[in-house]
Amino acid sequence: MVLAGVVGFGLLQLVPYGWKHSNPPVMAAPAWPSAESERLARAACYDCHSNETKWPAYSFVAPMSWLVRYDIDQGRDALNFSTGKGKKGHDAAEKVQDRSMPPDRYLRLHPDARLSAAERQILVDALNAMDEGGGGNRGPGRGGGD
Per-residue model confidence as pLDDT tens digits over 17-40: 656 778 999 998 899 999 999 999
Task: Answer whether residue 87 shows pLDDT above 90.
Answer: no
119-130: pLDDT as tens digits: 999 999 999 998
Question: Which residues lie below 8 Å from residue 66, measured CB to CB, with a gap of 6+?
Answer: 15, 17, 18
pLDDT at residue 7, rounded to an integer: 67
Task: Answer whether residue 143 shows pLDDT above 60.
Answer: no
pLDDT at residue 44, rounded to an integer: 97
- Cα dihedral across residues 93, 96, 101, 102: positive or negative: positive
Mean pLDDT value across residues 48-72: 90
Model's pTM, two decimal places?
0.78
pLDDT at residue 2, rounded to an integer: 79
Q: Is 81 exposed, middle or buried (0-12, 13-18, 19+ CB in 10 A)?
A: buried
pLDDT at residue 139, rounded to an integer: 47
pLDDT at residue 88, rounded to an integer: 76
